[in-house]
Amino acid sequence: MSQFFIGPGASKSGSTWLFGLLNQHTQLNVSKIKETKFFTYEHEKGKDYYLKKYFNEVKEAKYYVDFSPIYLIDTTVPKKIYETLGDEVKLVFIFRNPIDRLYSQYHMDKRFGFEKLDFLDAVFQPESERIALSLHNFKHRYGNNYLGESLYDEALKRYLEYFSMEKIHIIIFEELVNNPQNELRKIFKFLKIEDQTSSINLDINQGTSKVYTRNQPLIRWYMKYFSNITFIRKIVSHGRIKNYLRKLIGLKYQKNPDIVPKDRKRLQNYLINSITEFEKITGKDMIIWK
The phi and psi torsions of 170 (rounded to 5 degrees) equal -105, 130
Helices then strands, counting H and E runs in the chain, come out as: 15, 7
Segment 39-55 mean pLDDT:
95
Nearest to 50 by CA among 61, 65, 69, 72: 65
Kindly report the number of other CB atoms within 10 A of residue 89's CB atom. Answer: 22
Tell me the per-residue pLDDT of 148-157, one tens digit each, with 9 for 90 and over: 999 999 999 9
State yes or no: pLDDT of 225 exceeds 60: no
Predicted pLDDT at 78? 98
Average pLDDT along the chain: 88
pTM of the model: 0.84
Cis peptide leading into residue 10 (ω within 30°): yes
Residue 51, pLDDT above cutoff 60: yes
3-state SS class at 258: coil
Residue 172: predicted pLDDT: 98
Asked if pLDDT for residue 211 goes beyond 50, the answer is no
Task: Please report the pLDDT score of residue 41 as a whole number.
Answer: 92
pLDDT at 212: 45
pLDDT at 149: 97
**Other C-beta atoms within 10 Å of 232: how many?**
13
Residue 9 confidence class, pLDDT cut points 50, 70, 90: confident
Helix, strand, or coil (residue 39): helix
pLDDT per residue as tens digits for the range 92-147: 999 999 999 999 999 989 888 899 999 999 999 999 999 999 999 888 899 999 99
- Contact assessment for residue 149 and residue 105, using Cβ atoms and an 8 Å cutoff: yes
Please report the sign of the dihedral spanned by the C-alpha atoms of residue 160, residue 161, residue 164, residue 169: negative
**Position 134, amino acid:** S
Q: Could you give the CA distance from residue 130 to residue 124 in angstroms, rounded to a whole number? A: 9
Confidence at 205, pLDDT banded by 50, 70, 90: low
Least Cα distance to 164 among 9, 2, 14, 281 occurs for: 281
> Which domains does the chain possess?
3-209+255-289 (3.40.50.300)
The residues, any chain, with a CB within 8 Å of residue 259's CB and separated by 6 or more, are: 99, 100, 103, 119
Confidence at 50, pLDDT banded by 50, 70, 90: very high
